Amino acid sequence: MSARHQWLRRPLSRPNLRAVLVCCPHAGGDAGFFHPWARALPEAVELLAVQYPGRGGATPPPPRSSALHTWADEITDALRPLRGHRLALFGHSMGAVLAYEIARRLDSRRLTPERLFVSASPPPGAERPRRGDAGDAELVAALRRWGRVDPASLDQPDQRAAMLDALRGDLRVLDAYRPGPATRLGCPVTALAGADDTEVAPSAVRGWRHRTAAPFDLVTFPGDHFYLAAHRDEVVAVVADRLGVADPASAWVAP
């Protein structure tokens, strides 16, 4: 399996694309979380969603503390065929940190992305809860609180075990992550946050302004840690606006 096929999923091909948006999901998530975005984005934007190891047929992750850096290395390599295209990165929660590490690597290869979008995450190096060793009851409570899974599936032992394995594995990767030097990216950064997020407050998300030498802006939406599920079209409109590919017929105006 090629590196690109292992890491990236393309839910919808855009033959006349003007930009490519690479999306990194949250801990415990998979590429399918972003698939509905493919049709919501303007026709000029093609979406590539990252598939984490151990999900959807992807190779299980190796047991190493540098896993997130390894993922960033391999995803950056998988993006090599896109040289010459306008490329942007979007990461939600844990995915924001991974997207940042990919952006750092692209910067070092003089392939600076068009923009980095970071959602519901403090910047690298900021204090965050360590949950990789949390018990099943705590993780189930978090899944119910976030509302990102069918509650009935949590009552099925096999389905619950699979979800908890994926979530716990990703949280351990995040716990083990150690950022390198506080690199300032060459691309603009747009941070997004839920106004009522009890996991990561908008004030913490604002810390990303120190991670870029280019312009920074913060956009806040109503909602909690997964505000982007209820406000998908508005979030997509912000992405399109910042990339300069917004549909002029859209009735929603990005802030």
What confidence tens digit (pLDDT) does each residue in 40-74 have?
999 989 999 999 987 765 555 544 456 999 999 99
CA nearest to 208, candidates 123, 109, 137: 123
Confidence (pLDDT) at 83: 85
Q: For 76-80, 143-147, 162-166, 249-253, which range has the lowest pLDDT when averaged over its residues? A: 249-253
Buried/exposed 144-162: b ≥16 CB within 10 Å, e otherwise: eebebbeeeebeeeeebee
| 138-156: average pLDDT | 82
Candidates 188, 187, 197; CA nearest to 228 is 197
Note the pLDDT of residue 3: 53
Query: Catalytic annotation on 93?
Result: yes
Q: What percent of the chain has pLDDT over 70?
A: 89
- Could you read off the pLDDT of 69-108 as tens digits, one per residue? 999 999 999 999 988 889 999 999 999 999 999 999 999 9
Average pLDDT of the residues in 121-150: 84
Residue 51 near residue 58 (C-beta atoms within 8 A): yes
Would you mind telling me the total number of residues written for the chain in this entry?
Answer: 255
- The predicted pLDDT at position 151 comes to 79
**Global pTM value:** 0.90
Architecture of domain 3-125+181-243: 3-Layer(aba) Sandwich (3.40)
Q: What is residue 247's predicted lDDT score, i.e. its pLDDT?
A: 59
pLDDT of residue 187: 96
Which one of the listed residues 2, 13, 66, 93 is annotated catalytic?
93
